[in-house]
Amino acid sequence: MSSLQLKDLYDGFRNPDVIKSFQKLIAREAEKLNRTVNIMEVCGGHTHTIMKYGLAQLLPSTINFIHGPGCPVCIMPKERVDHAYALSQQSDLILLTLGDMIKVPGSHGSLQDARAKGADVRFVYSPMDALKIAEENPDKKIIFFAIGFETTTPMSAALLDVVIKRGIKNIFFHINHVTVPEVMKELIDSRDEHVNSYDHRIDAFIGPAHVSVISGSKIYEIFPKHYGIPVVVSGFEPVDVMEAIYMIIKQFNEGRSDLEIQYKRLVTHEGNLKAQALIEHYFEKVDLFKWRGMGNVPNSGLKLRDEFALYDAEVLYKEVLPYEEIDDHKLCICGDILRGFAKPQECSVFGTACKPSSPLGSCMVSSEGACAAYYKYGNLL
């Protein structure tokens, strides 16, 4: 009996012959372009794919990538990291979060530093791991510092759902979930007329597929319809990204601006309705959420609905959480990079004062940040 191997899920999407074929198709299509096309890959996962697999090197110079703000770890402002740090300092408390979040520097250091000084900070692979930790530590409060876009929000909602249904008394939430379409809108709307030249304008978006697995492709409809900007919802393997670029250039040459799905193997227009209902039940939008490098973005963050305030660490620990506004590092140009005005190498501290091991700005923090990807893989054009 033959069974499906894990490698069957990705081998075909890294097939050198297929990648080279797309390279030829794109080159042929790009010959018809009479100017540079700026494609924003919104998600850090795509930035990572483009850099790791060296895809930019395979493309004609008329295709330019703008690396978007879609890395949930990178965009976490110092104010929120300081919240996590302050929580970790409370007694009888275990702070849980996801992966790279423990590395993000706040005003007093990162969660990694807090842990080195004795705080109980742990990273989990699934929010559901909190259940076991809570059971093993009945005398402690477990706070899940929830981060991520639409992709990880349902997992936080599902955890809260279990906590309520089982009557678990020692799991609480600090919610930092953000949403993708709102920040995409902000990127377009915040442009002044004078910078909205051919050099800097976003001509097309590559939409993150995992977000759309949850929310459907429908969340991007506004961009082709209202702004006339094509969106192709793409997967994260090199073949996926190459195909998405091909689809975008074709749209461009044919004078279309459509919403298309490249990642047809999992994304539908409607998305995962059950997950959407779960999110809707537990979460509501906050008016403003501050993004590192981008500033306040309207309607881009989520919080627990008031009826679940009992589980909300931001409410319970209001007295100990800091609320001062903190500016981004003066030398850091992450904001300009995220808006497509600058590339990582143009930053004066790139690779010198700012490195993955000691990041000053948001884009250097997670492996999905544009600066971290440039630093790690180089840009060997």
Partner 1 sequence: MTKNIVLAQGNGGEENAELISKIFYKHFKNEILEKSEDAAIIDGGRLAFTTDSFTVSPIFFDGGDIGKLSICGTCNDLVMMGAKPTYMTCAVIVEEGFPVSDLEKIVRSMKKELDINGAMIVCGDTKVVPRGAVDKIFINTTGVGVVQKSGISSNCVSTSDTILISNQIGKHGATIFANREGMEFSSALQSDCTSLWPLVEKLLSEGVAITAMRDATRGGVAAVLNEWAKQSKVCIEVNEETLPVSDEVRGICEILGFEAYNLANEGTFVLAVKSEDAQKAVEILQGFEEGHHAAIIAEVTHQYDGRVVLLSPWGSKRFMDLPTGELLPRIC
Question: Which range touches partner 1 (CB under 8 A), out of 24-32, 153-161, 225-233, 355-363?
Answer: 355-363
Q: Does 341 bind partner 1 (CB under 8 A)?
A: no
Q: Binding residue for partner 1 (CB under 8 A) from 36, 57, 107, 348? A: 57
Q: Which is nearer to partner 1, 10 or 198 (CB)?
A: 10
Q: Does 51 bind partner 1 (CB under 8 A)?
A: yes
Q: Does 330 bind partner 1 (CB under 8 A)?
A: no
Q: Does 370 bind partner 1 (CB under 8 A)?
A: no
Q: Does 339 bind partner 1 (CB under 8 A)?
A: no
The dihedral over CA atoms of 308, 311, 314, 316, expressed in degrees to the nearest 10, equals: 110
Cβ 99 to partner 1 shortest distance, Å: 8
Cβ 86 to partner 1 shortest distance, Å: 18
Could you tell me how many residues of this chain bind partner 1 (CB under 8 A)? 36
d(CA 36, CA 65): 10
d(CA 112, CA 102): 5
Of the candidates 162, 160, 183, the residue with the CA atom closest to the CA atom of residue 279: 160
Strand runs labelled E in 138-181: 141-148, 171-177
Sorted by sequence, the CB contacts under 8 Å of residue 153 that are 6+ apart come out as 146, 177, 214, 279, 283, 302
Q: Which is nearer to partner 1, 73 or 93 (CB)?
A: 73
Phi and psi torsions of 378, nearest 5°: 70, 175
Phi and psi torsions of 293, nearest 5°: 85, -15
Q: Does 120 bind partner 1 (CB under 8 A)?
A: no
Sorted by sequence, the CB contacts under 8 Å of residue 178 that are 6+ apart come out as 72, 75, 148, 149, 289, 291, 300, 301, 302
> Tokens 């990705």 correspond to what residue?
10
Q: Does 98 bind partner 1 (CB under 8 A)?
A: no
Question: Which range touches partner 1 (CB under 8 A), out of 55-63, 65-73, 146-154, 260-268?
Answer: 55-63
d(CA 27, CA 263): 22
Site for partner 1 in 281-310 (CB under 8 A): none
DSSP state of 227: I
Of the candidates 126, 127, 116, 123, the residue with the CA atom closest to the CA atom of residue 95: 123
d(CA 314, CA 339): 30
Q: Does 102 bind partner 1 (CB under 8 A)?
A: yes
Residue 123 in tokens: 């990273």
Q: Which is nearer to partner 1, 132 or 281 (CB)?
A: 132
Q: Which is nearer to partner 1, 81 or 297 (CB)?
A: 81
Residue 193 in tokens: 């007329």
Site for partner 1 in 162-201 (CB under 8 A): none
Cβ 87 to partner 1 shortest distance, Å: 19
Q: Does 19 bind partner 1 (CB under 8 A)?
A: yes
Question: Which range touches partner 1 (CB under 8 A), out of 69-77, 137-145, 227-235, 369-377?
Answer: 369-377
Q: Does 5 bind partner 1 (CB under 8 A)?
A: yes
Interacting residues toward partner 1 by CB under 8 A? 5-7, 10, 16, 19-20, 23, 51-55, 57-58, 102-103, 109, 112-113, 115-117, 125, 129, 132, 238, 355-357, 367, 375-378, 380
